[in-house]
Amino acid sequence: MQVPFRGLAAALTGLAFSLPLLAAPIAPAAQPGGTDAYLDASAPQWEAVSRKIWDFAETALKESKSAALLEEILEKEGFAVTRGIAGMPTAFVATAGSGAPVVGILAEYDALPGLSQKAGEAKKSPVAAGAPGHGCGHNLLGTAAVAAAVAANRERIAQKLPGTIRVYGTPAEEQILGKTFLLRDGAFAGTDVVLSWHPESENYLYSGRRLAITVIDVEFFGKTAHAAANPWLGRSALDAVEVFEHSMALMREHVLPTARLHRVIKDGGVAANIIPDYARVQWFVRDENGARVNEMIGRLKKAAEGAGLATETTARVTLLASTREPLYNAALSQVLQRQLERVGAPKWDAADEALATAIQKEVGIPEKGLAKDVQPWGPGHGVSASSDIGEVSAAYPLAELAVATGPVGAPWHHWDVASCAANPVGLRGMLVASKVLAASINDLLRDPAAIAAAKAELLKTTDGKPYVSPLAKDAVPKVY
Ligand SMILES: [Zn+2]
């Protein structure tokens, strides 16, 4: 079924879609009524920004148009923008104000491969088959983060609030790369607290359940030969992969039930009559915390060495990306919880509910429609998907807000998310997120005690140990 694009359609009729025009100062001057009033008044323009990023649908480390659009808006709004940081052309930091406290907010804007989908459709229907799409809603994520920072900054100026607002443009979240590299290269230095949000199917503050993950390439180097004429001269790298895979399959019996191990063979040779002298398999190793993941990575390395020994090949194990589980900061989360309860869940109309239940029917899950409540603060809120915010949370106090932008129980990294992310369902959630985040930034600028409590809690959680990056000093961000 098709749901007309109400708010956005209205916005587009009055707006040319050229980058410079979109990046003109967004909205009227600061209005009485604070950040909510500003965000209500400017909602059509933010909807257009989010739609533009949805249309760009740029995957990890290729988000050049999406990053440029957000950078230009922030610059026009008086933020000092530094582009291309930590070796990533699509990473940026934008700063407004000065002095303490320094409140950071994370923006993501990468799409996923293969998830192209028409907006507002309740069945799989790509705009272009095989093309990328916003199946994790990061067009909403990045836009709401920037909208919140702009709204909070206008209020900071109007109310003469102390402190600094920083927007971090963090690319390649889907590859667990952006934030880990930004941290390793010191981009967050001097930040007191960090806020984030993610599109979801419920309204709450995350309090757990995201998994730690390490992404590993295991390569084997053997000797090639004609597979029929003189195979005794060869040593097959693919054989090594098979021995390694068997070891890992046996290991699965002896890991905790919380572990999640998955892999794909990236290179297994080119032709059956040529002994492969090179093979590569990639593993994602996940569990509830980073310590358990590290323990399994130690065993994986032994399996790789053993496979090399058994097949007279050489193994090389390379860490490509890694994040620990998020340490959600309760003191900081409660600042956002108060604002979430004040703003309330998105207000849905009949067309929103119709789209949601049609998607639920199509996917084969209970037809519960859309979430109408804000869940009280408490344990166990979250999803098992990993995010590189885990690394940020180990270095700085971090809270992550979830706002409903899709049907209850609907799968993520899926066409249904891309469908809702350029539809009023997603846009209503985006507006709620931006209001909660903007008001929370200003609460924090006004309240040094809340900042101090968040920092004290992190010190306690980490036993005062300094943050150590999982990345090698010479590691470079690249898509794997
Ligand atoms: Zn995501």
Residues 6 or more apart whose CB falls under 8 angstroms from that of 354 comprise 1, 3
- The residue among 320, 354, 381 that closes a domain is 320
State the pLDDT at residue 26: 52
CA–centroid distance, 55 to ligand 1, in Å, is: 17
Lowest mean pLDDT among 11-15, 23-27, 378-382: 11-15
Name which of 12, 44, 57, 11 is nearest 415 in CA terms: 57
CA–centroid distance, 419 to ligand 1, in Å, is: 15
The beta strand positions in 224-302, using DSSP E, are: 260-267, 278-287
Decide if 222 is inside a domain: yes
CA–centroid distance, 341 to ligand 1, in Å, is: 23
Average pLDDT over the chain, rounded to an integer? 93
Q: Are residues 200 and 342 in the same domain?
A: yes
Decide if 479 is inside a domain: no
Does residue 383 carry a pLDDT above 60? Answer: yes
- What tokens does 132 get? 């990328």
Note residues around ion ligand 1 (Cβ under 5 angstroms). 136
State the pLDDT at residue 209: 76
- The residue among 290, 320, 350 that closes a domain is 320
Does residue 9 carry a pLDDT above 80? Answer: no
Q: Are residues 11 and 42 in the same domain?
A: yes
Stretch 359-370: mean pLDDT = 98
State the pLDDT at residue 27: 47
CA–centroid distance, 253 to ligand 1, in Å, is: 30
Q: Are residues 16 and 142 in the same domain?
A: yes
Q: Are residues 301 and 336 in the same domain?
A: no
Compute CA 226 distance to the chain's CA centroid, rounded to the nearest angstrom.
46
Q: By residue range, what is the domain housing residue 333? A: 6-210+326-461
- What tokens does 430 get? 């985006």
Please report, for the domain that includes residue 453, its CATH number. Answer: 3.40.630.10
Decide if 206 is inside a domain: yes
Decide if 468 is inside a domain: no
- The residue among 320, 350, 368 that closes a domain is 320
State the pLDDT at residue 32: 42
Decide if 1 is inside a domain: no
Q: Which tens digits make up the pLDDT trace of 18-36? A: 344 444 445 444 444 699 9
State the pLDDT at residue 18: 38
State the pLDDT at residue 1: 38
CA–centroid distance, 206 to ligand 1, in Å, is: 14
State the pLDDT at residue 33: 62
Q: Are residues 300 and 184 in the same domain?
A: no
* Burial state string for 159-175 with b = 16 or more CB within 10 A and e = fewer than 16: eebebbbbbbbbbbbbb
- What tokens does 292 get? 């358990």
Stretch 471-475: mean pLDDT = 92
CA–centroid distance, 174 to ligand 1, in Å, is: 7
10 Å CB burial of residue 28 (0-12, 13-18, 19+) is exposed
Name which of 480, 477, 426, 56 is nearest 284 in CA terms: 480
Q: Are residues 27 and 148 in the same domain?
A: yes
Stretch 5-17: mean pLDDT = 37
Decide if 471 is inside a domain: no
Q: Are residues 278 and 135 in the same domain?
A: no
List C-alpha distances in Å: 17 to 48, 49, 72.
Answer: 8, 9, 14
3-state helix, strand, coil in the chain (%, to 5): 40, 20, 40
Q: Are residues 401 and 366 in the same domain?
A: yes
- What tokens does 95 get? 């700063």
State the pLDDT at residue 12: 38
**Ramachandran bin of 144, using left for φ above 0, alpha for ψ from -120 to 50, beta for the remaining angles:** alpha
State the pLDDT at residue 387: 93
Q: How many domains does the chain have?
A: 2
Does residue 417 carry a pLDDT above 50? Answer: yes
Does residue 382 carry a pLDDT above 80? Answer: yes
Q: Are residues 266 and 404 in the same domain?
A: no
Do β-strands 278-287 and 260-267 pair in parallel, antiparallel, or remain unpaired?
A: antiparallel
Q: Which tens digits make up the pLDDT trace of 91-123? A: 999 999 999 999 999 999 999 999 999 999 999
Decide if 478 is inside a domain: no
CA–centroid distance, 257 to ligand 1, in Å, is: 25
Q: Are residues 65 and 195 in the same domain?
A: yes
Decide if 393 is inside a domain: yes
Does residue 222 carry a pLDDT above 70? Answer: yes
Q: Are residues 127 and 15 in the same domain?
A: yes
Between 63 and 32, residue with greater pLDDT:
63
Residue with tokens 């997120």: 433
Please report, for the domain that includes residue 287, its CATH number. Answer: 3.30.70.360
CA–centroid distance, 383 to ligand 1, in Å, is: 11
CA–centroid distance, 82 to ligand 1, in Å, is: 24
Q: DSSP assignment, residue 190?
A: T
Total residues belonging to the chain: 480
Q: Are residues 31 and 115 in the same domain?
A: yes
Percent of the chain with pLDDT over 70: 93
